[in-house]
Every structure is written in structure tokens, then in C-alpha cells.
């Protein structure tokens, strides 16, 4: 889930936590077609996405876009910045 400001991202995180939806703060992945205004994204499980979208709508939270990406997390990759 992408955002135009980091305050939007953290506000959405608070809403998700209150709703019991797991979300993690992450740098906005590169390679998406969307160009949000900030580098903070939230990672959510696709299974939670419908509930997350309902939470966003109900609370009027600001979201710049949603992209579906495969998980690329690999702690044994050993490639650093």
C-alpha cells in the first residue's frame, strides 16, 4: 500500500493495528508504475487486503495506491546497501 506522505502511512498503520490487521512499514518497492509522494509503504498480506481497504474507506484514510507484488524477502541473500 503506497502513500503520498509518511504521516498518511503511519496513520493507516495505526488504523490497521486497531483493526487487528497485520501491516509492516517498508521502503516503497521500486519498479511499480505508481509514483507516490513518499518512500514509506505498508506491506500487507493479500488475504487481509479486503479488510484493509474497508478500514481505509471507513476511516477516510489517504492511500496513493495499491500494488500486488510477490514477496522478495530472503535473509540469506547477503546483499547489502
Partner 1 sequence: MADRRQLWEDLGMDLESHDQLCAVLPIAFGDVFLSQENRPEGMAFYDMVVSDIHGIRPSELVEAQKEGQKVFGTFCVYVPDEVVIAADGIVTGLCGGSQFWVPAGEEVLPKSMCPLIKASVGARLGKTCPFFRIADIYIGETTCDGKKKAWEILGEDVPMYVMEMPQMKRPEDIERWKKEISALAQKVEETTGNKITPEALNEAIHIINEKRKALLRVYEARKAKNLPISGMDALLVMQIAFFDDPVRCAHMANELADELEQRIKDGVSVFPEGTKRILVTGTPMAIPNWKLHHIIETSGGAVVCEESCTGTRYIENLVDEDATALDDQYEALARRYMGVNCACFTPNPGRIDDIVRLAKEYDVDGVIDVHLKFCTLYDTEAYSVQNALKEAGIPCLEIETDYTDGDAEQLRTRIEAFIEVLE
Q: Which residues bind partner 1 (CB under 8 A)?
A: 4, 6, 9-10, 13, 17, 24-30, 35-41, 43, 72-81
Q: For residues 47 and 60, give the distance between their C-alpha atoms in angstroms, rounded to a whole number.
A: 21
Residues 60, 27 contacting (CB under 8 angstroms): no
CB of 2 to partner 1, least distance (A): 10
Q: Which is nearer to partner 1, 60 or 70 (CB)?
A: 70
DSSP 65: B
Q: Which is nearer to partner 1, 60 or 78 (CB)?
A: 78
Amino acid at each position: 500500500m503506497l502513500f503520498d506522505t509518511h504521516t498518511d502511512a503511519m496513520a493507516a498503520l495505526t488504523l490497521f493495528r486497531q483493526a487487528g490487521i497485520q501491516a509492516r512499514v517498508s521502503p516503497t518497492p521500486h519498479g511499480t508504475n505508481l509514483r507516490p509522494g513518499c518512500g514509506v509503504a505498508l506491506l500487507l498480506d493479500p488475504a487481509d487486503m479486503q479488510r484493509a481497504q474497508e478500514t481505509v474507506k471507513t476511516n477516510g484514510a489517504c492511500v496513493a495506491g495499491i500494488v500486488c507484488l510477490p514477496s522478495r524477502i530472503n535473509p540469506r541473500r547477503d546483499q547489502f546497501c
